[in-house]
Amino acid sequence: MGIFPNIQSNLGDYVSDFVDFLDTTLDPLFDLIFFISSRIINGIEGLLLILPWWVFIFLIFLLGWYIKSVSSGILYGAFIFVIGTFGLWEEMMMTISIVLSAVIICLLIGIPLGILMSFSKGFSTIMRPILDAMQTMPSFVYLIPAIFFFGLGNVSAIFATLIYALPPVIRLTELAIRGVDPEVIESAQSFGSSRLQMLKKVQLPQALPTIMAGVNQTTMMALAMVVIASMVGAQGLGEQVLISINRIDIALGFEAGISIVFLAIIIDRVTGGIADKFQKHRGAK
C-alpha cells in the first residue's frame, strides 16, 4: 500500500505564527482599519435607514428606470417591497451597507493596483499568482485571520469579503488598460501628453467599460461572501440564513435566501447597466 512516509512540514504552524506576529505588531494599524471600516458601514447603514421605506423603494425604481426601463424600475421596486414584507427590511439594509462598504474599499485598493500592474510587467508577474490564490482559496479560510485581527462582527466580514472580491476588479483594470487600442495611445503620445495626462484623459476613460465589468463581478462576489461572512458575525440577510440553518427553519431560510437573490438581481442589473452606458460610444474598438 502506498503510505506516505512520516515526513512532516509545519507550514500551517508558520502561517499561524505569522498571523500572531502580525496581530501583535500591527495592532494599531488594525485598530485604525477597524475604526475606518466600521465608520463606513455605520455611516452607510445610518443613511439608508434614515430614508422612509417608500422613498427607498422609489429611489430603486428611479435607478432601474434610468439604467434600464420603466418596467425594470417597477420590478426592482417590487422586489424591495417583497423583502420588506418578509420583515427583513433592516437586515437588507445591513447587507447592502456591508456590500457597498466592501465594494468601495475594493475599488479604492483594486483600481490603483490594477493600474500599477498595467504599467509594470514585473509587478504584474508578482501579483498574478497572489490573485490566483486569493480567488481559488476556499472563502471560509479567510474568516479565521479575520477573527484574529478584528474579532467577530461586520469589520471581519468586510475584511474577508475584501480578499475574496478584490481580484476581479484588479485583473479587469489591468486588462482594460493594457487593452486600449495602441493607435489611440500613440495618438495621445504624439500630442505630447505626459504620463498622468495620458492615464487621466485617455487610458482610464477608454478602459472604463471593462473596469465597470470588473466592478460588477466584484460586487456580485461581495454579495455572495456576505452570507458566508455571517459565520464571523456579519449581520444582515446572511445572519438570517445562518440562523435558519441552525433552527432548520425552512420558512426563514427561504425568505432570507430569496431576498439575497432579489438583491443580487438588482445589483447585477444596475452595475451591468452602468457598464453598458459607458460602452455606448466606445463600442466598436
Partner 1 sequence: MTKKIQIEHVSKIFGPKPKSVIPMIKDGMSKAEILKKTNHTVGVYDASMEINEGEIFVIMGLSGSGKSTLIRCFNLLNKPTDGAIKVDGEDIVKYSGSELNHFRQNKIAMVFQHFGLFNHRTILGNVEYGLEIKDVPKEERQKIAQKNIDLVGLKGYGDKYPDELSGGMQQRVGLARALANDPDILLMDEPFSALDPLIRRDMQLELLDIQDRLKKTIIFITHDVNEAFKLGDRVAVMKDGKVEQVGTPEEIIEAPANDYISDFIRDIDRSKILQAEHVMTKPNALVSMKDGLNVAVKEMRENGISSVFVVDRGRHLKGIVTIDAAINGIKQKKTLADVLDTNITKASKDEYVSDIIPKALESKFPLAVVNEENKLEGLILRVHVLSGLVAEDIEESKEYHGYYQEKKTEE
Enumerate binding residues for partner 1 (CB under 8 A): 181, 183-184, 186-194, 197, 201-202, 205-206, 208, 281-285
* 283 class by beta-carbon count within 10 Å (0-12 exposed, 13-18 middle, 19+ buried): exposed
CB of 190 to partner 1, least distance (A): 4
Q: How far apart (Å, rounded) are the C-alpha atoms in residues 38 and 42?
A: 6
Vertex 99, ends 94 and 102: CA angle to 5°?
125
**125's grid cell:** 508577474
Single-letter code of the amino acid located at 155: V
**87's grid cell:** 420583515
Q: What is the signed CA dihedral for 132, 208, 265, 82, rounded to 10 degrees?
A: 130
Given phi > 0 = left and psi -120 to 50 = alpha, else beta, which region is 2? beta
The sign one gets for the Cα dihedral 119, 120, 121, 125 is: negative
Which among 139, 173, 137, 133 has a CA at the least distance from the CA of 159?
Answer: 139
CB of 275 to partner 1, least distance (A): 14
Q: How far apart (Å, rounded) are the C-alpha atoms in residues 93 and 83?
A: 11
Do the Cβ atoms of 77 and 57 come closer than 8 Å? yes
CB of 69 to partner 1, least distance (A): 23
CB of 202 to partner 1, least distance (A): 6
**Residue (151 or 205) nearer to partner 1, CB:** 205
**Residue (13 or 285) nearer to partner 1, CB:** 285
**Residue (38 or 279) nearer to partner 1, CB:** 279
CB of 283 to partner 1, least distance (A): 6
**Residue (13 or 183) nearer to partner 1, CB:** 183
**Residue (39 or 282) nearer to partner 1, CB:** 282
**Residue (12 or 195) nearer to partner 1, CB:** 195
**14's grid cell:** 508558520
Which among 147, 149, 203, 145 has a CA at the least distance from the CA of 174?
Answer: 203
**Residue (201 or 247) nearer to partner 1, CB:** 201
CB of 246 to partner 1, least distance (A): 51
Single-letter code of the amino acid located at 126: I
**Residue (20 or 181) nearer to partner 1, CB:** 181
CB of 175 to partner 1, least distance (A): 17
CB of 122 to partner 1, least distance (A): 16
